[in-house]
Structure 1
């Protein structure tokens, strides 16, 4: 299975504006350098990076009539050409970084409410957004070794 990175985004603060990156430093046990979750304790602390498939956001848009960009789901790495759900429990590589899929990154009410406020969505409820993104909102992955990833890097299993 092969895919590639379409985009990389980080946020410095909770709910803060997403900053697009051409490349990012991934640090084992810590996350993406510069992101608000870097070296965070607490929930999902062993899942240092989030990924989402561009194709799943496109399908969500078709089903709901919305026009969200893939990074609007607030996942750090957007991919194309790889079935991310299949990577839960598996090891994979992005460039020279090895990762392990930990769990699905299911949508939550925080994300749904953020999207409805941010984009003034009135024709789709937050609960419909959660249902529409269920099992489509990407995965959390553990970073197994330090390294850099770039937009365009191949994903290999």
Structure 2
């Protein structure tokens, strides 16, 4: 995602220009390269769909934006007291991460807004391409944290006991009491969360100081490509784990830990993993492939 200003185009509505800016941001294409037809938004969407089709992508309408939960980019047309504006939403639950027409909407939860139309940008080719680069799959534990209940302050630990199929003893997700604990207790990926210390270093260098506890993750790592652990088994000390999916940020995190975290942590929010064996995890423990 890139920052994109509202383009100037005589005779083109502000909503169409805002929509084009959002699409340019998501696709990381200069907005000058997108078609900007005159007329209403439906005409513009048709032209932009044709443009995307030439790039093996499409715009998929979202039937019920107020209930849409998808850890990816999507474009939401929001009705404000004065007009309609195009925005980019992200996260589960989602929040606004780009709003060229009305920056005051940044960080707002989509559930709080009146969304008149929404579209997801999707690839027309579902084939998953292999990644050529070899990820670094060795690292160490730099810090540990748990929260005994949903939304309460995280507690830092030097050592934690991991319980297979549950998580870290004393944590709200091990007790099946987390904000996002699935109903029925059957979905994978909710035992443990990992966060790369390098991401926090990057944010600090960019002037956005975030401490580990504010991320509400369990394990702070150093030296390992956390994103590359998706679909892989690995050990933290003697505890066997399996990476399930990225732990993308959401508007809930933004609300608990302060505004401004949602966008900087996109694709850098860490990993959701399952705990496969019991054991202890200590600060300084090695993380390595199983």
Pairwise TM-score range, normalised by the shorter structure:
0.7 to 0.9
Unmatched runs of 5 consecutive residues or more in structure 1: 117-125
**What is residue 171 of structure 2 aligned with on the other side?**
35
Residues in 1 aligned to 2:145 and 2:163: alpha-carbon distance in whole angstroms: 16
Alignment equivalent of 2:240, drawn from 78, 98, 110: 98
Instruction: Give the conservation status (yes or no) of the 8 Å contact 1:29–1:39.
Output: no
Matched, 1:5 2:141: yes
In the comparison of the two structures, how many residue pairs are matched? 146
Instruction: Give the conservation status (yes or no) of the 8 Å contact 1:95–1:153.
Output: yes
Alignment of 1:14-33 (within 5 A): 14-33=150-169
Residues in 2 aligned to 1:37 and 1:156: alpha-carbon distance in whole angstroms: 24
Alignment of 1:36-51 (within 5 A): 36-40=172-176, 42=182, 45-47=187-189, 48-51=191-194
Q: Is the radius of gyration larger for structure 1 or structure 2?
A: 2
Could you say what the CA RMSD is over the residues aligned between the two structures, in angstroms?
Answer: 1.6
User: Using CA pairs below 8 Å that are at least 6 residues apart, which structure has the higher relative contact order?
Assistant: 1
**What is residue 152 of structure 1 aligned with on the other side?**
284
More strand by share: 1
Matched, 1:139 2:279: no
Residues in 2 aligned to 1:36 and 1:131: alpha-carbon distance in whole angstroms: 25
Instruction: Give the conservation status (yes or no) of the 8 Å contact 2:161–2:281.
Output: yes
Residues in 2 aligned to 1:15 and 1:110: alpha-carbon distance in whole angstroms: 9
TM-score between the two structures when normalised by the length of structure 2: 0.48
Structure 2 vs 1, CA of residues 87 and 99 (structure 1 numbering), >3 Å: closer, same or farther? same
Please state whether the residue corresponding to 2:267 is helix, strand or coil.
coil
Residues in 2 aligned to 1:155 and 1:87: alpha-carbon distance in whole angstroms: 11
